[in-house]
Amino acid sequence: MSTLIHIYDDNAALRHGLEELLSLSEEFVVTASFDNCTKAETEVKNSPPHVILMDIDMPGMTGIEAVKKIRVFNKKVHIIMLTVFDDNTHILDAIRAGASGYLLKKDVSEKLIPAIKEVLAEGASLSPSVAKMIMVSMQQSATQHNYDFTKREKEILALLCKGNSYKMIAAELGISFETVRSYIKKIYEKLQVHSATEAVSKAINERLV
């Protein structure tokens, strides 16, 4: 089955470029393309996609505001932020709002397809520099929440926050894919979340790991 994708970006040239890039693969189908996100709630409800590519800086409503609204009724759709901004504030605000990943527009041609495949594999698609910012932010706070994680669960949550997929975590720790899935299920239960996106968002908000 094809992956259905909505695009939100006020730059027409970039929007068309994304459509052309995605059309090169039979895996993806662009179901809608918009120059603003003021009606994103209705558009996503009426035609639910698997993935949303969301610009941060758009007229009428920012992409981060749209993500917050979408997350109220849809926790499963993968949302990748596309932006020219490369700073801690925008990155952390986007992830806290519920974004699944974050890509700089200058890297789109090279990294968009891998990023989409990464979030579909239940990972959080973050570049190494973005992952580093998140980890630093988490480490800067002295506030700790006790979820009674085991050492292995902490390791896996940290790797999840760095954008690793289940397969990558399994390879990194030398354990099976199913073992990783089992650990992550326990992490979800302790955090009271239902997806990798929610787990990463909560870990960032509460400065875990």
Residue 45 lies in a domain: yes
Give the predicted TM-score (pTM) of the model: 0.67
- Looking at 120, 149, 183, the residue that finishes a domain is 120
- pLDDT number for residue 144: 53
Residue stretches of the chain with pLDDT short of 70: 86-88, 122-145, 209
Pair (141, 62) in one structural domain: no
Residue 185 lies in a domain: yes
**Contact yes or no for 40/8 (Cβ under 8 A):** yes
The count of other CB atoms within 10 Å of the CB of residue 156 is 27
- pLDDT number for residue 197: 76
Residue 51 lies in a domain: yes
**Contact yes or no for 205/194 (Cβ under 8 A):** no
**CA distances to 134, 191, 196 from 209, in Å:** 11, 12, 15
Range of the domain at 114: 3-120
Residue 129 lies in a domain: no
Q: What is the pLDDT of residues 61-72, one digit of tens each?
A: 999 999 999 999
Residue 126 lies in a domain: no
Pair (19, 94) in one structural domain: yes
- pLDDT number for residue 16: 95
Pair (116, 138) in one structural domain: no
- pLDDT number for residue 131: 60
- pLDDT number for residue 52: 97
Q: What is the pLDDT of residues 144-187, one digit of tens each?
A: 567 889 999 999 998 988 888 889 999 999 999 999 999 999 99
Report helix, strand or coil for 31: strand
